Structure 1
Amino acid sequence: MADQNNARSERLLKWLQDAYAMEQEAETMMKAMASRIQNYPHLAARIAQHVQETQRQAASLRQCIEALGGSVPTAKGLFASMTAALHAAGTSLMEDEVVKSVGLSFGFENTEIATYRALVIAAERAAAPDIAAVCGQILQEEIAMARWLEDHQDGLVGAFLNRDETPGAQAKR
């Protein structure tokens, strides 16, 4: 039984480290996106809010990782941040950047939702209720962000199309 508990804790630790790297990637992507948004202030405000949530989430994950005797994955986090920066640079070249960014962000949020659902289950199995509670709270924040993106996508796409059809207006950002 002790071996099973150790294996569960090790799996939980690895998944927490992966989630920490994912949050580093998310922060890099969202900061890049927020810095370029010019004509969609409610999107910029919500992205800025989620950047702050993401920073708190990463700090909470760090505490969970350290509580299990682990450390944050610097190489994995650096790679995730570099990947996000390259992705953001590629998106910035698209003529419909804001529309593509909302879609990509929605997909990323759903990946985070799946990750935190798995982490809640893993933490419960590893007899780590405090970690399960932290991951459950993060899960709710990710669900809220995904819903916000879904609820506002039609309006954002409509605003983009209106700007795109208006001579002299910049729609891209």
Structure 2
Amino acid sequence: MTANQETRNFFVVGLRDAHALENQALSLIDRQLDRSESYPEVAEMLRQHRGETEQQILRLREILTKLDESHSGMKDVALSFVGNVAALAHTVADDEIIKNSLANFAFENYEVASYRSLLTVAEAGAFAFATSLLSQSLNEEQAMADWIGSNLPALTTKYLSLRSHGMQADR
């Protein structure tokens, strides 16, 4: 196998992994949207990011199609299931919204790293057609990670305030 074939194969695997990761993100977002009634600002960002995530999936499929490849249904199902389980794990926590926010911050930064790696491979493999699509997804993921990071103090303060006034604070 040539170096170009190795790079292409690595790129395809990375794209399939990113596709599955975005499906996991949809599962996480959907479960959290069901349980964020005390935090409309979080729900609004989750709804917005859900739309972005759907577009990211389409972009990844577009790149795979141009490579005459497809996504991995098995990876998609497996990571979607993991996303549902992860979201459900926090539902029993007294501070569910905080736990979700911490997990979301880590997840978004993982996605940022994933897209940065894919961009590096796209450049190394001369897959120029993919760089603008991957860059757009990277920018969306970075914006969401930045929003979570910058809003975590206010979210924590709101949680503490609701809790101290005997109101529902967990979600």
Q: Percent identity?
A: 30
Give the C-alpha shift of residue 139 in structure 1: 0.6
2 CA distance for matches of 1:80 and 1:18?
Answer: 9
Query: What are the equivalent positions in structure 2 for 1:111-150 lying under 5 Å apart?
Result: 111-150=110-149
- Counterpart of 1:10 in structure 2 is 9
Give the C-alpha shift of residue 92 in structure 1: 1.0
Q: Quick check: 1:120–1:133 contact (8 Å CA) kept in 2?
A: no
Give the C-alpha shift of residue 33 in structure 1: 0.5
Give the C-alpha shift of residue 55 in structure 1: 0.5
RMSD (CA atoms): 1.0
- Counterpart of 1:26 in structure 2 is 25
Query: What are the equivalent positions in structure 2 for 1:1-173 lying under 5 Å apart?
Result: 3-167=2-166, 169-173=167-171
1:18 maps to amino acid: D
Query: Residue deviations 1:72-112, cap 9 Å, x none?
Result: 10011000011111111111111100011000000000100
2 CA distance for matches of 1:104 and 1:89?
Answer: 12
Normalising to structure 2: TM-score of the pair?
0.97
1 CA distance for matches of 2:160 and 2:4?
Answer: 54
Normalising to structure 1: TM-score of the pair?
0.96
Q: What is the count of residue pairs matched by the alignment? A: 171
2 CA distance for matches of 1:117 and 1:81?
Answer: 22
1:121 maps to amino acid: T
